[in-house]
Copies of this chain bind each other. A is one copy, B any other.
Amino acid sequence: MGVKERRERQKENLRQEILDAARKLFVEEGYDNVTMRRVAEQIEYSPTTIYLHFKDKADLLFSLCQETFAKLAGQFEALGHEFPNPLSSLKKGLRTYIQFGLDHPNHYLATFVIPYKCDAQERERHLSQDSMGMRAFDYLRMIVAECIRQGMFRPVDVEEASRALWAAAHGITSLLIVHPVFPWGDRERLIDLVIDSMVAGLQSKG
């Protein structure tokens, strides 16, 4: 009775083929230039076939981004869960986050920047604890907690500090992606300035 299994394998293969085709278009040309028709053309199926594997375009691209952000979560978790020097771990983590966004601009845009057009149920899905974006956020929160536990931060709420740091990192990431032409000067220096300022601002006065 390996028939059913083979069928499922084939179905899974096609799903992956769709994802790969979509990713290629997505990486090269961004959200709007991925059309169901072009994806279909690439894999040499009719456009409707895609809908047998993905609910709609948003679902397809969301799945795509999840795949990619899983890499970020993996990168983070590979850094380990011990933070002998939490301040430098924090800076390194923020650096990693920002660089990841710059390396995968269209994924970053689709995940965090493009305004949702979907209903509350889908929005919840995008923000759920299971999502890869949130797993990365969890890691940030862990480091922040350690900074606070070791007394290196002034006594601020872990959640609030994490959100504030995320906001700042998101700000520089998204601006650099969306406005590449703006005279940013030395980008690396600017990124470091944002990170260093935020972290310094959260440190205890002593």
What residues make up the interface of A, taking CB atoms closer than 8 Å to B?
A: 30, 32, 109, 112-117, 120, 123-124, 127, 156-157, 159-161, 163-164, 166-172, 174-175, 177-179, 181-182, 184-185, 189-190, 193-194, 196-202
Q: How far, in angstroms, from A168 to B173 measured CA to CA in the complex?
A: 10
- Is there contact, CB below 8 Å, between B120 and A109? no
A interface, by DSSP: helix, strand, loop or mixed?
A: helix
Cα distance A196–B196 in the bound complex, in angstroms? 14
| Bound-complex Cα distance A169 to B113 (A) | 15
List B contacts of A169 (CB < 8 A): 171
A185 contacts B163, CB within 8 Å? yes
Alpha-carbon distance between A160 and B160 when the two chains are bound, in angstroms: 26
Do B190 and A201 have beta carbons less than 8 Å apart? Answer: no
A113 to B108, CA, bound (A): 12
Pair A115/B117 contact, Cβ less than 8 Å: no
Indicate if the CB atoms of A178 and B109 lie closer than 8 Å.
no
Q: A123-B181, A163-B185, A168-B198 are in contact. List 12 more A-B contacts (CB 8 A).
A: A113-B113, A113-B174, A113-B178, A116-B178, A127-B181, A161-B193, A164-B194, A167-B175, A174-B174, A194-B198, A198-B198, A201-B201
A170 to B174, CA, bound (A): 9
Complex: how many Å from CA A174 to CA B198?
18
C-alpha spacing A181/B122, complex, angstroms: 11
Instruction: Please indicate the chain B residues that have their CB under 8 angstroms from the CB of A32 in the complex.
Output: 117
Least distance between A127 CB and chain B CB atoms (Å): 6
Question: CA separation between A175 and B162, bound complex, in Å?
Answer: 14
Question: What are 21 pairs between A and B in contact, CB < 8 Å?
Answer: A30-B115, A112-B175, A113-B174, A114-B114, A114-B115, A116-B178, A159-B185, A160-B185, A163-B185, A164-B193, A166-B175, A167-B171, A167-B194, A168-B168, A168-B197, A170-B171, A171-B171, A171-B172, A171-B174, A174-B174, A197-B201
